[in-house]
Structure 1
Amino acid sequence: MKGFLYGQTEYNILKNSARLKDYLSMAKTNGFDFLSLTDSSMYACYKFYMGCQEMGIKPIIGLEYQMLDEDNFYSKCLLYAKNNEGYKELSRISSLVKLKNINSFLDIKDYKNIYFVFPFFESILERLFKQKNNDSNALNILNEYLDKINKIGGYIGLSYTNKLESIPLVREFSEYISKFNVKTLPLHQMKYIKPEDSIVYECLTKIDGKPEKISEFDDYSFLTNPKEDNNLNDFINSINLNLFQNKIALPHYPNTKGKSAYEYLGILCHKGLEKRGFYFEPYLSRLKYELSIIHKMGYDDYFLIVWDFICYSKKNHILVGPGRGSAVGSLVAYTLGITEINPLEYDLLFERFLNPERVTMPDIDTDFPDKDRDKVLNYVKEFYGEKHVCSITTFGTFQVKSSVNELAKIFGIDNERIKKILDMIQERGYDSLLEAYKGDELYDFLYCAKNLENLPKHIGTHASGIIFSEDNLEDIVPLSYGAGDLYQSQFEAEDLESIGLLKMDFLVVSHLSLIDQMIHDIKDYSIDQFRKIPLDDKEVFKLLRAGDTLGIFQMERQGFRNALKEVLPTSFNDIVALNALYRPGPMQSIPEYAKRKHGEKFEYLHKNLEPILKETYGVIVYQEQIMKIGQKFASYSLAEADILRRAVAKKKADVLKQMSSDFILRAMKNGYSKDIAEEIFELIYRFSDYGFNKSHSVAYALFAYKMLYIKAHYFNVFMSNIMNHAISNKTTLVSYISYAKSHGLLTQKPNINVSKDTFVFLDNWLYLPLKTIKGIGDNIVNDIVKERDANGLFRSFEDFIDRCHPDKNVLEGLVFSGALDIFGKTKKEMIESQDKQQQIYLKYIKGAKTKEEYDFDTLKEKEYQFLEMNLEYNLFINISEYYQKYKCIPLSKIGQKIYVNTIASFSDLKEIKTKKGDLMLLGSIEDDITTIRFTIFPKAYETIPYGAITKNKLYAMRGILETDNKGEPSFSISKLAPIE
């Protein structure tokens, strides 16, 4: 039989450069009968097995196991699964290697469904055999090993291909062991595909910190004609694997009521419906229908599992998101408290979530604050068992920049040249460069960079996915340690879902964390109160109609704010519609939606569209509307209509033709003319990829609305929290500070006796955190605050120095940020006190004080250096006379498409060339309130002297505010002049 037993892939991370897809393809091309996977982990096991099945090649599942012998030398042992039980044993061993770092043969010897193959090279066998002529004890130990191998039915793997210069040694060893009757197998280890890839493999090992050199006599490439013998044929024929064929049963929720999952779910849902106050028709009929579909599809336990950890969260005062995605369309989810949105109130469709005619796993994603997610995960781990819940492996891969930078260290290429190489790769691509650099010293570098790209570089953890299993996970997938206290599967998410394991997403949503902290900061306010916020609050709608949504989830972009000012929402449904419309493509319908909302007359294509499209003024906004059109005109069930919607959205010609014919025939049977049927189908076709999931849009609109409610009624709490959230993003923070100022909430410079690691609200001022000062990290802030809390406020500059002993850089940051201004000294005096003689002068000469200070420009520059903003030394302080002189208005008050004069400084500049080769300028301008993008087009740019535009300088400028193709405002500057 043709194949080899020691194949490894890129999932042997940083130890092999052979891509799995290339490995499988080469085996198919060369007519292999079998193929092995013997990585040192089992990350690629599922992909490999299914790939072999698809290509008609017998898969051999193995594992490379590193054993530590008595002399502290590592020896390799290859383990192969004989059958399905053997696969489970391999999975357990792979788990134990990762979890307990096992490295002895004693740890694995009792597994009965595994073949043990001991390679000669890089093993105790090679070491002892080489020593036998000089050490009689070595010969005795070798003979003992050979006896043990024979007794356990093991094999010795002999390679006549990897180390060509060692073939005589292999033959000598083979002859020596023949008297022991130990079975041998031809063993070729593959570390890369093509012989020329040896350099790529060597680079990987150097990146791994375990450099290996492949000599000209070594060959670890794909062997197209591997050695065959009878032992190998018998070995392969004896292996019988039939894996991943049966879907794994979903885990059961262990209810204590002695009821079936179906019965218990029904009891909970009816109680929930009654508690919600909707225990009447049509709710009862909808609930009965949903429960029957859920039961028929076998998902009763799924809903109970989600209900249970949501219950745990709410009982423990953990804020849970209101729901997301199509699950919001389920009444069952609403009655259980999994979602907080009544699907009948918003005409949401269950079939968009669970389609009985297209069986897929339910997908209920849940949102948690970052500080609480681990509490929920620990709960489910304890409840279901640590070997029944795990996180999911992801792979970080080499990208162009990372592969080039890693290789630069190996090839000794300096940073300047690397920048040029990256530019060349981006402009010309690898293939063109390789052709151009043949024979050049750079060729090997480029060849390696190309072949490293997208290879796994390190292991990560899926951001949200968690796996649940009824059975012990070790029998299904190999495990390792993950983030937090959970085990982690060695398989990726798509592999786990393909074999039938239940994946649920526990998401961390930063805005939910923000809301959670806001609720905590509002006195006498609870999570339960927050859930019951009225959806017709006048103050909220004032903000919406003004486009005043800075800091609001999904509504912060200027384009969205402009859309709000255009639509002028008067109901929650308007917010839902805008959430769905504000996306590339659909946003072109926003002006039409707005005009119709404000009274412009329009006609429906057919009168039967009116009940479906009335809420969106005849504009198709939601996928659910498309489904209802299919139901109304062609008598599709909602399940069939969902299939229609999905199929049409894919735009496949053959499918479209079939769907179109079917729809038109069914519509005509319902009494519609062929022309109308064709027009309605065209309408469905046109909007199939424009329509948005209404369930998801309602959920996100509710999320945003509740943030707006806090902003409208607890502005100071809202602002302090979003500013804390933006501490590490100075551009956003500066815009928030300017916005707060425009609303009467002033930000004060840091204060050594007030400031902490977050914003402090005191006496109607927001004090900047100490860690916004450049060079002052969490540890320094913690030390200062700890000293202040323990021994009282700092009484003077000298007292602070004596108690905290700041180094030069920290002191400069504190001085120039203004944090030490409370002590009454000038900044120059405090900085010069670092000089020892000056310190003596200040300390011992009574009353000696200097009132000298740095000039304004220096103070402004230094404040910006350490805060990346100017609070005290601001360009825009005392410039009201210039607003009058140049007849200017602030950036925040400029209306669209009106030529105006304004005063601003440039905060971001980028000169680019047009397709015609003309120069133009892009970037950002700002005043003390607003930051906005700008453009100076070529014609205007020609009139401006070179170098006349610099950052942090005031300019009077004339221009017009326009909207770009993304819906974002941009100020087009036609003239400008510096303000001296």
Structure 2
Amino acid sequence: MYLYSSKDIKKRVINLQRFVHLHVHTEYSLLDGANRIKDLIKRVKDLGMDSIAITDHGVMYGVVDFYKEAIKNGIKPILGCEVYVAPGSRFEKRAGRGLEPSHMVLLAKDNMGYKNLMKIVSTGFIEGFYYKPRVDMEILQKYSEGLIATSACLSGEIPKALLNSDYRGAKKLALEYKNIFEEDSFYLEIQANGLEEQQIVNQQIIKLGNETNIPIVATNDAHYLRKEDARAHEILLCIQTGKTIKDDDRMRFSTDHFYVKSPSEMEELFRGIPEALSNTVKIADMCNVELEFGELHLPEFDVPKGREPSDYLKELCYEGFERRYKEEERDKYKKERLAYELSIIERMGYVDYFLIVGDFTRYAKEKNIMVGPGRGSAAGSLAAYCLGITNVDPIKYNLLFERFLNPERISMPDIDIDFCFERRAEVIDYVVKKYGKDRVAQIITFGTMAARAAIRDVGRALDMPYADVDAVAKMIPFQMGVSIDKALSINPELGLQYNQDERIKELIDTARLLEGVPRHASTHAAGVVISKDPLTEYVPLQKNDDSVTTQFSMGLLEELGLLKMDFLGLRTLTVIRDALSFIKSNYGKDIDINGLIMDDPKVFNFISEGKTAGIFQLESSGMTQFMKELEPSSLEDIIAGISLYRPGPMDQIPRYIKNKNNPNQISYKHPLLENILDVTYGCMIYQEQVMQVVRELAGYSMGRSDLVRRAMSKKKIDIMEQERKNFINGIDDEEGNIIVMGAIRNGVDKKIANKIFDEMMDFASYAFNKSHAAAYAVIAYQTAWLKCYYPTEFMAALLNSFLGSSDKISLYIYECKSLGIEVLPPDINESDVRFTVVDGRIRFGMAAIKNVGENAVKSIICERKREDNFKGFKEFLERMDGGNINKRCVESLIKSGAFDSFGVFRSRLIAVYEKMMEGISQTRKRNIKGQLSLFDAPHITDNKENYDMIKYICDEGGMYPDIPEYPSRTLLSMEKEILGLYISGHPLGEFEKEISKSVNAYSSDLSYGKPEEGEGTIVDKPTKIYDGMNVVVGGIITTKETKTTKNDNLMAFLTLEDLYGIMDIIVFPNILKRFQRLMEPESIVLVKGRVSIREEEKPKIICEEVSPLKKMVTHKLHLTLKKTHDKGLRESLICMLKFFYGDTPVYLHEEVQKDKGIMEGHYRVTLNNTILNELRQLVGEENVKIM
């Protein structure tokens, strides 16, 4: 069906329309076009024009949005693209002068032309991509039906030939293209943009048109909306190319004529060539594409021969129903619910959808690929549960099918599936093979310039000082949906700067023009689309790296009737898989993780104690604290916790905890609410509860209750006021039949009904989808259960999942230590590729060692299996000689401690390994060739020292050089260098107490984690970090990089490591000068500074002061009071001691009671210069002693 149609637009009267823009670049000519689609359509309408084309560079990203917006405003959309044409074949991929692709504008005349345009653009990416998506004459010939082409701008093939004085070649090309495209479908393009070269080309084009009888058309290659937007467009080009407005060699447009000109302006410019203008109207009249929305194009599932899809789905669901529930559990309600769901699925045309999802889910399980228990509202479907798509019982947790699939709201169902992170691609490959690679693709997503990012990008392009730009950016609240305009309205300081500083005004005004513009395209992390026909029938495609993706985003694909679903790779499922594998290996137990009875008090106590590092959804510092306060006792508490710990509903947390602890104090506004809200202790938390309230109190249907929930969540005030009346008074049809009972007719007082509706209105926009929370609570419980009962196996699996992140590895190794789990360094005879569990301890994997590749590790393991463990270092080198190891590999193994079990100092192995390897290699060659003795090798025996050394260490039973082992700090530094972290100890170990007393933040507080995975914390009382916060952090400097500023001053970037991870420290020149000597690698320091938080980046600390961290020595402070001292002095002294409370014990000696002191622990002070000076002034310097 057609939801939007250009047929609805009144047929143009050609004489009234004077000009149509046919060469226009929107925001989807990324970082080049500055015409926002909405603004563009409004501008065209304001100029009195009724048609316009979209012709973005090489892509069709914006055509659907453009089409919809144009139709909505009564403007005729002309869909096109400015494609890149290769100089020869699209398969020839060579660079060089004259080999650059040329431009050509293509416009779709009809739906066939639109489909052909999608095929051309897709081919440009999939077959012809070489810096740009390129097509060639073969492809243009193949898909020319239904298309109009123009010769484009100065970068077109014909204009380039003319500029090269190749008129004959230009004429030949023009005739070729005239023959490729249908009759009256190829035009020669002229422009009036103020460029001298364009004037030359225009003259030649007119001559060429006359000679070849090819019509001429006028365009303006519009890249921005108004003439005054040329400056903003220049800045956009600077952002694209990484240049600043001050760079002479930057890419730029030489004039400010590339805007959406009015018909009058175009008439003035082309006064002598009226046909060039009238041809734009003629072309616009020829273009009549009708996009189709709402009609489904789902693939058909291949059911067994002779079976109907609906019957086959029922059969599979009822088989699953019997597996899921024991006979005594199969009550009437469950049977009716399943039958009802199946009828809705069939009625809405989604039978094949369910069969497809059930099929690839079944495939994953058969291949032992971990599948999550569910995600999103699909967990509310009993049919999905019986089919094996989800693993959360919707009946047990009161989850609603209508939240997933509403018969009163026609929209595509949304089933998203979590798979093992490492094997997700296998499931996608299965789908591709089953339905065809031309029918399956991943989905594009666009990164746009958010408010702060736009300020920063524009500031860089304007070459403004970083500090000035940073200050402005930080005046914009760091939260979703806050625009620059909104920030100006709510932040008086920002408004003041805007009005008083011309530089800031230009910065903000330009950023406003670019805010929200797409910045880049990438592949959606999970989205996959499947079609019954080749996808290019419905959507253009492109290639991102090795994957084929759509050029339309997820929402548009659904509107076009294509089946979209999310194949998500969830790291936690990989952790669970690996933990179960360790358990099987170590204990011989096969644990059915999906069969756990989720009511174990020991597991809930474990969570309540805050042991949540690594536990899915519960490990962020705030959530850990919440769980400790909540003390969950059921899965319902975990579901509620996941739902509450978000902005908005977070305010309900204290009430939820209070009601949980005092159930007798819970009150309900009406008795009917108790059955709905008792599971959440009287608090309204879930969207499903909103739906249940309107059903139970006012008699809404299941489907209608979901419509109310949606309207409330979107805060549609007008709709909600009408819905309030419906909720209170009900709805009757014209014949007096009751459609909705209404609260009053259902016995609810009007005043109470209004209060309940108000409460729902307040909370509905924050309410969470219980189905999603329930599915994720299951994974949270599973990980908590594994960590509680099999902590070593779970932690080993967790460490393996973060092999590429030394920060996370450090965090979780510290957690292992807190759990009493020993983490052993790599060992040449015990280590595997990854972390393993050995005798209740975790052994480091060798693949995590720098310079030791996986192939080398596999060779070592293979050799161990072939001929038992290695007995010594020399034997290892002999057996591995000629294998996948080299000198760098051996050096790294030594530094990591992998050979420590041989009882030889690392210092001694480092001293001999190179020459020993050379000697062994020569011996092997001699044995193979039978020619040369090891000690005849000239490069080894060219001096006596080498000769003696090699003979000494290679003789059977030879000893290593008698040199001492490296100092402990050196050994730890080697581990850090090679493993990315300290394993056998930590340089800060002896400073742990000092650090805890001196700092107010740790690296774990500053960690930047994915919201889905959470951020781990080990600190008992985590600190909530915010931008601009003053902090003191402590640790060891592990790296230092310096950089010269524009003013030729030196600044530094430090990496500071504490016991939990690393922090980035920025040191500006003035601070670097003051504290240079303290800022060398291996220095243990305290850093005072302020936190700097930027979008999508880990927080950094701007350094203000550095001091050395010194080991505390346990001192005692001795004070003497003499007879001559004033009697009130003792009271003053006691007050001072209380004020400076700390750790140093105080002994007070009075001459009256000689040597009678206040015992240690009675008074303790913080010992520093301030208190010592005060005490000396109070009692005299000779009466203050530190011992």
TM-score scaled by structure 1?
0.81
Paired residue secondary structure (2:332) = coil
User: In structure 2, what is the equivalent of residue 248 of structure 1?
Assistant: 296
CA drift at 1:420: 3.6
Query: Does residue 44 of structure 2 align to residue 24 of structure 1?
Result: no
Residues 351-500 of structure 1: matches in 2 within 5 Å? 351-397=402-448, 419-420=466-467, 422-427=469-474, 455-482=517-544, 487-500=548-561
2:394 is aligned, of 343, 351, 361, to: 343
Which residue of 135, 153, 177 maps to 2:184?
Answer: 153
Structure 2 partner of 1:325 = 376
CA offsets 1:642-695 (integer angstroms, 9 cap, x no match): 333333344454444333333233222122223332333344344434543222
Aligned counterpart in structure 2 of residue 638 of structure 1, from 685, 699, 702: 702
Q: CA deviation at 1:36?
A: 1.2
Amino acid at match of 1:199: E
Please tell me whether residue 175 in structure 1 is matched to residue 207 in structure 2: yes
Deviations 1:321-373 (A, max 9, x none): 11122221111111211112222222222222222223322111111012222
Q: Which runs of 5+ in 1 are unaligned?
A: 892-902, 939-944, 961-973
Select 2:764's aligned residue among 688, 712, 718: 688
Distance 1:10 1:425 in 2: 25
Change (3 A) 1:854 1:519: closer
Shift of 1:511: 0.4
After superposition, the Cα gap between the structure-2 partners of 1:164 and 1:261, relative to the gap in structure 1 and judged at 3 Å, is: same
The CA distance in 1 between the partners of 2:29 and 2:673, in whole Å, is: 58
Equivalent of 2:727, from 663, 667, 672? Answer: 663
User: Given the alignment of the two structures, is residue 54 of structure 1 paired with residue 87 of structure 2, yes or no?
Assistant: no
924-933 or 118-127, larger mean C-alpha shift: 924-933
Mapped to 2, the partners of 1:660 and 1:634 lie a distance apart of 11
1:3 equivalent in structure 2 = 20
Alignment deviations for residues 542-578 of structure 1 (CA, whole Å, 9 cap, x no partner): 4234343331111223443444444444433333333
Q: Do the aligned partners of residues 144 and 338 (structure 1) sit closer, same or farther apart at CA in structure 2, a change above 3 Å counting?
A: closer
| Structure 1 equivalent of residue 127 of structure 2 | 100
1:222 deviates by: 3.0
Q: Secondary structure at the match of 1:268?
A: helix
**Residues 1:108 and 1:211: Cα distance change in structure 2 (over 3 Å):** farther
Which residue does the alignment assign to 1:226?
266
Specify whether residues 222 and 604 from structure 1 end up closer, same or farther in structure 2 by C-alpha distance, changes over 3 A only.
Answer: same
Counterparts of 1:709-788 in structure 2 under 5 Å?
709-770=785-846, 772=848
Provide the residue aligned with 1:899 in structure 2: none
Matching of residues 165-244 of structure 1 within 5 Å: 165=196, 166-175=198-207, 177-193=209-225, 194-197=229-232, 199-200=234-235, 203=238, 206=241, 216=254, 219-224=257-262, 225-227=265-267, 229-244=277-292
Q: How far is the alpha carbon of 1:951 from its aligned partner?
A: 8.9
Give the Cα–Cα distance (whole angstroms) in 2 for the partners of residues 322 and 847 of structure 1.
60
> How far does residue 201 in structure 1 lie from its aligned partner after superposition?
6.3
Q: What is the distance in 2 between the residues matched to 1:607 and 1:136?
A: 89
SS at 2:373 equivalent: coil
Query: In the aligned structure 2, how far is the partner of 1:544 from the partner of 1:351?
Result: 33
Aligned residues: 930
* Structure with larger Rg: 2
- What's the secondary structure of 2:431's corresponding residue? helix
Report the equivalent of 1:708: 784
Cα deviation for residue 927 of structure 1 reads: 13
Q: Name whichever of 153-162 and 337-346 sits farther off.
A: 153-162
Distance 1:250 1:544, change over 3 A: same
The aligned residue for residue 346 of structure 2 is: 295
Matched residue, 1:37: 54
* Residues 1:821 and 2:903 are matched in the alignment: no
- Deviations along 1:180-213, one digit per CA (max 9) or x if unpaired, are 3222212332344434356346536745999885
Structure possessing the higher relative contact order (Cα contacts under 8 Å, 6 or more residues apart)? 1
SS at match of 1:282: helix
Would you say 1:306 and 2:353 are equivalent positions? no
Q: Deviations over 1:283-333 (max 9, x none)?
A: 111112222222332322222221222222222222211112222111111
Q: Could you say what secondary structure the match of 2:151 adopts?
A: strand
Superposition pairs of residues 921-940 of structure 1, within 5 angstroms: 921=1032
String of CA shifts for 1:495-553, please: whole Å, max 9, x gaps.
21222222111111110121122223332779883322232345434423434333111
Between the aligned partners of 1:478 and 1:343, the Cα distance in structure 2 is 39
Change (3 A) 1:264 1:904: closer
1:549 maps to a residue whose letter is: T
CA drift at 1:800: 6.8
**CA distance 1:761–1:622, change in 2 (3 Å):** same
**How far 1:234 sits from its partner (Å)?**
2.2
The residue that corresponds to 1:965 in the other structure is: none
**Are the counterparts in 2 of residues 268 and 336 from structure 1 also a CA contact under 8 Å?**
yes
State the AA in 2 paired with 1:818: G
Quote the residue 2:1046 is aligned against: none
**CA, structure 1 residues 517+976, in 2 after alignment: closer, same or farther (shift >3 Å)?**
farther
1:341 alignment partner, SS class? coil
User: For residues 471 and 140 of structure 1, do their structure 2 counterparts lie closer, same or farther at Cα, with a shift above 3 Å needed?
Assistant: closer
Among 257, 261, 281, which residue is 2:309 paired with? 261
Verify the 8 A CA contact 2:85 2:135 in the aligned structure 1: yes
- What is the distance in 2 between the residues matched to 1:932 and 1:588? 32
Separation (CA, whole Å) in 2 of partners of 1:143 and 1:620: 70
Report the counterpart of residue 513 of structure 1 in structure 2. Answer: 574
Corresponding residue number in structure 2 for 1:77: 104
Residue 226 of structure 1, CA deviation: 2.6
Q: Say what the alpha-carbon RMSD is for the aligned residues.
A: 4.9
Q: Equivalent residue of 1:167, what SS?
A: helix
SS of 1:7's equivalent in the other structure is coil
Q: Distance in 2 between matches of 1:198 and 1:568?
A: 56
Q: Gaps (5+ residues) in structure 2? A: 1-16, 89-97, 129-133, 268-273, 477-483, 485-493, 730-741, 916-942, 953-957, 1003-1017, 1037-1055, 1064-1085, 1091-1103, 1116-1139, 1144-1163, 1169-1185
Query: What percent of counterpart residues are identical?
Result: 31
The change in CA–CA distance for 1:541 and 1:108 in structure 2 (over 3 A counts) is same
Q: Closer, same or farther in 2 for the Cα pair 1:405/1:271, shift >3 Å?
A: same
Q: Given residue 776 of structure 2, which amino acid in structure 1 is its aligned partner? A: Y
TM-score (norm 2): 0.68
- Over residues 622-653 of structure 1, what are the superposed CA-to-partner deviations in whole Å (9 max), with x where a residue is unaligned? 33333322222222223333333333344454
Change in 2 beyond 3 A, CA 1:267/1:527: farther
Q: Please name the residue that 1:852 is paired with.
A: 964
Q: Is the 8 A contact 1:955 1:977 kept in 2?
A: no
1:503 aligns with 2:564: yes
Counterpart position of 1:118: 151
Change (3 A) 1:337 1:189: same
Distance 1:754 1:529 in 2: 29
Query: SS in structure 1 opposite 2:529?
Result: strand
Q: Does 1:67 align with 2:85?
A: yes
**1:848-878 CA deviation, whole Å, 9 max, x = no partner?**
7334344445555555565565443446879
Q: Summarize the Cα distance change of 1:734–1:223 in structure 2 as closer, same or farther, 3 Å threshold.
A: same
